[in-house]
Chain A
Amino acid sequence: MIAPARIACVLALCLALPAAAERAPFSSGTARVLPAGRVETGIFQPTRWGLPTKAEVELSLHPLLFFVMPNLTAKIGLGRARSLELATTQGLVYPTPLLRLLAREGTGGVLPPDAKVPHLIAWECALLASRRLPRDHLVTVSVASTLGVRFGESDWPTIDLPLAYTRTAAFQRWLSARYGLDLDGRLAGGLHYFLDVDLHLLPFARGSVAVEHAGMLSWRRRTGGFAIHAGYKLVVGEYPFGWQVHVLPLVDLSWAWN
């Protein structure tokens, strides 16, 4: 049962109205929106597109996953409040085909072949606030919530993997929440850093807390058309069987076009 207060909280996060905000390249995870017409994509990152409209809107989707997990997210600039830049993201995902694909016998069987995966739709919304710090640094705080709705018989186990567990919790247990703190900036020349900490709360799951921390260095071409990223992700999470710690490598390449 979902408490009315939780529903009200989710709705409050998602009802912000679009307004002017700052646009900036390579601004994933911040309150900044991509410049109009700019497209950024990566191997593992979603493809993002700054809409060429007056409103500050950016659309993103995971192209590799799209055909097995249709997804679309909009980031909408909300303008400034004092020295904070504000934005909201609204995303919809339909994970059913991917989960059914993963319910198989043999290698690749993340879920057992007899798993019953219903039609699922998840709605993620987030509020982001970024503030510029001296010397090209930017700090961002975020609050996000995912609401999962299912249609039909559901009998499939949790995916007890770092990252996947928290991101699929709402598909099974209605709701998950995330609170984030990000710091990024330029170190020297084209070298940039990114640090973040996310707290995941899964109020109805058997393992209900996870903390994720990422540290990453990026080198960006001066023209802004290409970047290479490398770093790590530390995941300390509670699963149905107890706590686990994982350190995962992060590597990605990204390209951009104006």
Chain B
Amino acid sequence: MRSSVALLLLALVAAGCDPFHTGFDDFEAATLYRASRAPAPSAALDRPLRVMTWNIKFGGGRIDFIWDCFGDRTLMKEKEVLDNLAALAERIRLLDPDLVLLQEVDVGSKRAAYVDQVQYLLDHTALDHGAYASQWRADFIPSDGLGRMDSGIAILSRWPFAAATRVALAEVSSYSALKRYFYLKRAILRARLALPRASGSSELHVLNVHTEAYSTDGTKQKHIDRFLEEMATIDQAKQALVGGGDLNTIPPGSQKQHEFPDSVCTDPEFIADDYRAEARWLDGLYGRFRSAIPLADYQAENARYFSHTVDKRGPWNRTLDYLFTNLGLVAGSGRVHQDTLPLSDHAPLSVELVLP
């Protein structure tokens, strides 16, 4: 009896220490999803693997939000979210990928009218399985009227996951304890799946990341380095892998590196348009892996591969989104779909991979 009381008291104290449930463990199982319909029969994959990455801005389309410094909106109506998601799903169906890496996907946030966007996209595309890792979770955020938040990264797949893990990344150390408590806690979503092949199945590792955008204390570089480390560990084991996401930095050799015209925020904490100190941060990834957009192609014509702008009128003005792999690329298949300007502040990037 006494120990039961002690356990109850301990549980109460533990719950009281994280009253808004914002914390994560270093390693956690990702949340797995399935489309509401019956899964499609698993046919052998006898063609290149189509992979895509897209930061979908929590289904916010081109609404101007407070944090973009372009508008005054914080919350969306349910209809706005569903309309935006329908447009995103339509574009995914059109590209018909086998795997989609999503960043900024909300699964129960007040700002997105509590719509579970992973479930919505599974139910409205040909992808049957999803893995989700939260990057920003709080029962309530008392800032800008944000309220409840659950936003993160996800991988959608035609095939079920054998494993999916949320790997915690370093937090921004320069923020106050209060801000850190409610702020994003970024992660790598590391998943493994068995691709059905005529000769049996082949294992593929998939990594998704959305690194820090605003820190001035080196956190972004730590995130990129940790992502490279995770990728390299799998590569060293001679396992097939594809990884990518929104790395929030520009490729080496970018002609424009600062003073982007769509950066209108004046709060120094939210200015993210000077990449001059980051010129070599992606060297490790480009040096070890194949990029969906080969570096030489990008350096020959930057603008063709730009994938981000905050300004809904465009044009795209920088590249932040990447896919890297140790598999072969179908030559010329890497493409930034720049005709998606109304759908998100990022354009999707897709590529076709040759399986061994």
Which A residues contact B (CB, under 8 angstroms)? Answer: 103, 105-115, 157, 159-161, 232, 239-242, 244, 246-249
Contact = CB atoms under 8 A, between A and B. Distances in A.
Given A109-B142, A157-B75, A247-B19, 4 more contacts: A110-B142, A157-B147, A160-B140, A160-B148
B142 A249 contact: no
B139 interface: yes
Contacts of A239: 148
A141 to B, nearest CB: 26
Contacts of B140: 160-161
B259 interface: no
A237 B148 CA distance: 14
Nearest to B114: A241
A112 B75 contact: yes
B19 A109 contact: no
A207 to B, nearest CB: 10
Nearest to B16: A249
Contacts of B142: 107-110
A108 B110 contact: no
Contact of B145 (A115, A161, A241): A115
B72 A114 contact: yes
14 contacts: A105-B66, A108-B143, A109-B143, A109-B144, A109-B145, A112-B145, A113-B72, A114-B72, A115-B145, A157-B110, A240-B114, A241-B110, A241-B148, A247-B15
Q: Which 3 A-B pairs have the closest CB atoms?
A: A112-B145, A112-B74, A247-B15
Contacts of B66: 105, 113
A114 B74 contact: yes
Contacts of A241: 108, 110, 114, 148
A107 B146 CA distance: 10
A159 B145 CA distance: 9
Contacts of B300: none
Contacts of A232: 12, 16
Nearest to B145: A112
B143 A107 contact: yes
B162 to A, nearest CB: 29
Contact of A113 (B16, B74, B110, B147): B74
B73 interface: yes
A113 B75 CA distance: 10
Interface centre among A114, A239, A241, A249 (most CB of B within 10 A): A241
Contacts of A106: 143-144
Interface string B133-151: 0000001101111111000
